[in-house]
Amino acid sequence: MTDPAAPAAAPQTDASAKSTWNQRLSRWASVAIGFVALLIGGTKLVGVFTLPSCESTRALETVQSIFKDKNLPEPTLTDAQTVTADRSEKTCQTAYEIPNEKGTLDYRVFWDGWSAKVMITKVSN
């Protein structure tokens, strides 16, 4: 027999069962969002420590900004390609065109301390 002084166990209601299910769903959603954020952050972090390719937007925009800094019209750059590549430097070549002039442009992408730099090395008409 049961002790009359002991409190009776509360019957489980649908509300508490639903609350537990919502808590589990919330926990899994948080884990999934955290995992996606970790993947995105990891990808961005790798990009910081990786030398950009010759064809990358980052490298080509830097070449264009060099023209702008020299008060030259912004060039149209096409057919960018890697000539040589190693861990710390890439030599590159692209075709360029500005009003009244077109030719080939050689440039290098290299590390300067912790920063990736771009330097134009040769311009041929």
The CA distance from 29 to 35, in Å, is 10
Which pLDDT does position 22 carry in this prediction? 84
53/60 Cα distance (integer angstroms): 9
Q: What's the pLDDT tens digit per position in 44-84?
A: 666 667 899 999 999 999 999 999 999 999 999 999 999 99
Q: Is 22 helix (H, G, I), strand (E, B) or coil?
A: helix
What's the pLDDT score for residue 5? Answer: 60
Greatest alpha-carbon pair distance for the chain in Å reads 104
Q: Please answer whether residues 59 and 109 qualify as being in contact, where contact means their C-beta atoms are separated by less than 8 angstroms.
A: yes
What pLDDT band is residue 2 in, cutting at 50, 70 and 90?
low
Q: pTM score, two decimals? A: 0.64
